Amino acid sequence: MSPNSEFREWIMGFKVAALQFAVITFGLLFGAAGAANARAIQLVGLGDSLMAGYQLPPGDGFPAKLEAALKAKGLDAAVADAGVSGDTTSGGLSRIDWSVPDGTDGVILELGANDALRGIPPEQTEKNLETMIERLKGRKIPIFFVGMLAPPNMGSDYAEKFNPIYKRLADKYQLALYPFFLDGVATHADLQLSDGMHPNPKGVDVVVERILPAVISFVGMIDAGAK
């Protein structure tokens, strides 16, 4: 083989290698850009001890188990725990602006149980919840609204005023509503802590299992709106 032929083959080999390098580099850059654009949906669970996982080990609370259940269904979503034990709707309202940071894609709003336990006038509870809803809507943050029922010891008159609050607000503001957070857990001692109010780890599993389909629909709505 002549020196010229060897030189031409070397040049051709160099061009092929350069082209392959360019293709690989473009693919890496494109993949990196796609990864940067693919961001997990950021949810915030704004609530009381039911959200905060009262007396439960880390990872056994509702936000952590809901996030795991969503990921198990193939949904890339993170659920931040903004639950404060003992919080009333007044407490939630006072901290909503900093508890729900910028960049939040959706809020799971679960408050009102402590209002009922303390006998706070339902009209005040409704006003506080409505103000929170309007604050979040003003920031264009979708809301998954979680309802509560008044405990039986508060009497039927109180329950008749308190229990309809959540559906009334959900209808007014067209919110996704899960009517009762403790559905399937309330009155089941084996799913509750010794206080007879808060779910134990098995109780949280039941809550997550029952609420999951509605949350999946909510996440799908957020994802569709982002496209």
pLDDT for 225: 76
Q: Which of 76, 171, 198, 205 is catalytic?
A: 198
pLDDT score at 123: 98
Q: Please indicate, yes or no, whether residues 20 and 48 belong to a single structural domain of this protein.
A: no
To the query of whether residue 99 is one of the catalytic residues in this protein, the response is no
Query: What is the per-residue pLDDT for 13?
Result: 53
Q: Is 198 annotated in the active site?
A: yes
- Whether residue 124 sits in one domain with residue 65: yes
CATH, residue 211: 3.40.50.1110
In terms of domains, do 31 and 48 share one?
A: no
Q: What is the dihedral of CA 127, 131, 134, 139, to 10 degrees?
A: -160
Domain of 1 in residue numbering reads as 1-38
Question: In 3-state terms, the chain is what percent helix, strand and coil (to 5)?
Answer: 60, 10, 30
C-alpha 127 chain-centroid distance: 23
Q: Give pLDDT, residue 14.
A: 44
What pLDDT does residue 12 have?
Answer: 54
The catalytic residue among 48, 49, 87, 105 is: 49
Name the stretches of the chain with pLDDT < 50: 3, 7, 10-11, 14, 16-19, 21-37
* DSSP state for residue 152 in the 8-state scheme: G
Measure the CA–CA gap between 152 and 163, rounded to whole angstroms. 11
CA 191 to chain centroid: 23
Q: Which of 105, 183, 195, 205 is catalytic?
A: 195
Check residue 10 and give its pLDDT.
Answer: 44
AA letter at 103: G
The Cα 53–Cα 97 span in angstroms is 22
Same domain, residue pair 25 and 128:
no
Determine the pLDDT at residue 39.
Answer: 79
pTM of the model: 0.83
Of 202, 208, 183, nearest to 79 (Cα)? 208
Largest CA distance in the chain: 104
Query: Rounded CA gap, 95 and 176, in Å?
Result: 22
Q: What residue type is assigned to position 123 of the chain?
A: E
pLDDT at 8: 55
Residues 30 and 123 in one domain: no
> What is the structure's pLDDT at 1?
54
User: Are 24 and 43 in the same domain?
Assistant: no
Do 19 and 83 share a domain, yes or no? no
Rounded CA-CA distance 98/96 in Å is 6
Q: Does residue 91 share a domain with residue 4?
A: no
Predicted local distance difference test score (pLDDT) of residue 111: 98
Q: Is residue 152 within 8 Å of 115, Cβ to Cβ?
A: no
Three-state secondary structure call for residue 132:
helix
Tens-place pLDDT, residues 165-222 = 999 999 999 999 999 999 999 999 999 999 999 999 999 999 999 999 999 999 999 9
pLDDT for 224 equals 82
What's the structural domain count of the chain? 2
10 and 31 part of one domain: yes
Within this chain, do residues 114 and 191 fall inside the same structural domain, yes or no?
yes
89 and 5 fall within a common domain: no
Say whether both 21 and 81 belong to one domain.
no
34 neighbors 54 (Cβ within 8 angstroms): no
**76 assigned to active site:** no
